[in-house]
Amino acid sequence: MYSDVEALWEKVQCKRYELCRTISPAKLTPYLRQCKVLDEQDEDEILNSMLLVSKANRTSRLLDILHNKGERGYVAFLESLEFYYPEMYKLVTGKEPTRRFSTIVVEEGQEGLTQFLMEEVMKLQQQSKLREERNSYSDELLRVKDENYKLAMRYATLSEEKNMAVMRSRDLQLVVLMNVLNKVEEECKMERRQSLKLKNDIENRPKREQIFELERENEMLKIKLQELQSIIQPMPLPASDKAILDILEHDRQEALEDRQDLVNRLYNLHEEYLEEKEDLELKSSTLQKDCEMYRNRMDTITVQLDEVEKERDQAFRARDEAQHHFSQSLIDKDKYRKQIRELEERSDELQIEIVRKEARLVTLESRLRRLAKDIVLDQSLPRDMPPTIISQAGDYKPSQSEWSSDESHEGKFPSEEPRLKRRPNLKANRVKSPVCFPREVNYEASQSAALSANGGDFLDIQMRNYNSNSVSLPASPSYPPFSAASLSCSPSPSPLTFSMDHCVTVTRASSPRYLSLQRKHRSIAEKGEGKRLQPPQVVTQDYQLIYAV
């Protein structure tokens, strides 16, 4: 897109000299302001700037501003050239200007403008008339297209009917030809039979010698008959015999007529029976062919039924396999669900164990931090603490304090600062700062009892290692060991008594980690497979410091 705009402006840059020499910026700026390409500041810079002393400079600055506007500035500039400088428009674009408003107003005045407007109105009327004609022709074209479509549809239906009629006539012709063929076949069969009969007659006819012998015997018999007739002469018969002879002759004639009628009837019946025989043979042949056709159809139907049965059996086998596969999938799914459940339970147990270890680790770290702070405090105690103050510290009963293993020990000491008291120094000599740790006899017994009572789920931290009057503490992994400098004593040193009470157990009922642990423990208990989890307890130790002056 940017390359296209640069190519358009390249055409303007090629004609920059002619444009700067011909164009007057004051003539183009109103139209460019109307197109919102230039603003008031740009117009003021172009027309009233003191740096632009000549018209060419102002036109060059105008072209630069329009160039920065991009494609919109190019289009507005070409329109302004088309209005006010048609020759420059043709020089830049190579096209004839289509808008002549400014030229008409300048050259021809109002009358030329009126004439031009009338011509334009006539052109518009002609265009509207042509548009109406085009619309009417388009409507006519649509109507003709609809008619053509209907005719095409009708032609298609008629062609389909024609094809169906041709197919029907072809079927009928085939039927007629089949009938004619069957009839010709029957005639051929009859002719073949007759020819076979004639052939048999020809083969079975007598020989010429036999014929000659029969003819000779016939002639001999004729000669004998003539001799006998010549011997027998006719005798005159009486009238009674003549009457009898007439009656016999009449009877013979009637018998001959009856016999002739019977022969004619027999011949007619023979002809009828022959025709009936031919018809029956034709019908039998057609029936035989129909039977063959139906037999073929039955064979094809039987084959198709066999194929359908095979497909049905195959479908049944596929269905059984699918059902078996589905049942196997359900069994595998149940097995996998059981494995997933077992793995989830194992994961819950491991998570609980991890949480328990983390809680123990956090408790140990907090305990070590508190012990490190206690060591610093112990080293900072004065060394001239009298034993009377230490004995008085043993009568003080500190109250038990509870806090989470995750809380720091720094928030515990400010609450104990008001209890610190100052007492005057009773002895002038300086002594070491003895820290009294009253050792309870039944400490380990009570600790083991507490652990056994809660199922061993307490987080136990060994706090103290008593060695005569000194305290042995484990090394802190987070705080490096260091030695504190001894404190200087004032003229009236203030002795300090430090006592450590017995260890107490603090539950973490308000800890979020403890609540999540309890929820997991409850979910495992509901499944019936988890072991009831005891809430972790933290063994803490309360330090009581008594400052005496």
**186-225 per-position pLDDT tens digit:** 888 888 887 777 777 667 766 677 777 878 888 888 888 8
Tens of pLDDT, residues 297-348:
888 888 888 888 899 999 999 999 999 999 999 999 999 999 999 999 999 9
- The pLDDT assigned to 500 comes to 38
**Mean pLDDT of the 51-58 span:** 87
| Domain end marker among 107, 125, 155 | 107
Q: pLDDT digits over 479-521, tens only?
A: 444 444 443 334 444 333 333 343 333 344 445 555 666 666 6
Q: Which residues of 28-50 are buried (b: 16+ CB within 10 A; e: fewer)?
A: bbebbeebebbeeebbebbeeee
CA distances from 184 to 156, 191, 273, 285 (A): 41, 10, 20, 12
Query: Where is the domain boundary, 107, 132, 156?
Result: 107
Q: How many domains does the chain have?
A: 2
Question: Is 79 contained in some domain?
Answer: yes
Domain boundary among 85, 107, 129: 107
In a domain, 384, yes or no: yes
**Spatial CB neighbours of 380, under 8 Å, sequence gap ≥ 6:** 484, 487
The model's pTM: 0.24
**Residue 78: pLDDT above 90?**
no
Q: Which helix (H) or strand (E) holds 544?
A: strand 537-547
Arithmetic mean of pLDDT over the chain: 72
Q: Is residue 127 part of a domain?
A: no
Q: What are the residue ranges of helices labelled H in 85-207?
A: 86-93, 101-107, 109-204
CATH number at residue 19: 1.10.533.10
Residue 203 lies in a domain: no
Domain that holds residue 484: 365-547
Q: Would you give the end-to-end CA distance of the chain in angstroms?
A: 92
Residue 34 in any domain: the answer is yes
Instruction: Answer yes or no: is 155 within a domain.
Output: no
Q: Of the given ranges (111-115, 190-194, 290-294, 411-415), which has the lowest mean pLDDT? A: 411-415
Q: Is residue 185 part of a domain?
A: no
Query: Considering the domain boundaries, does residue 283 fall inside one?
Result: no
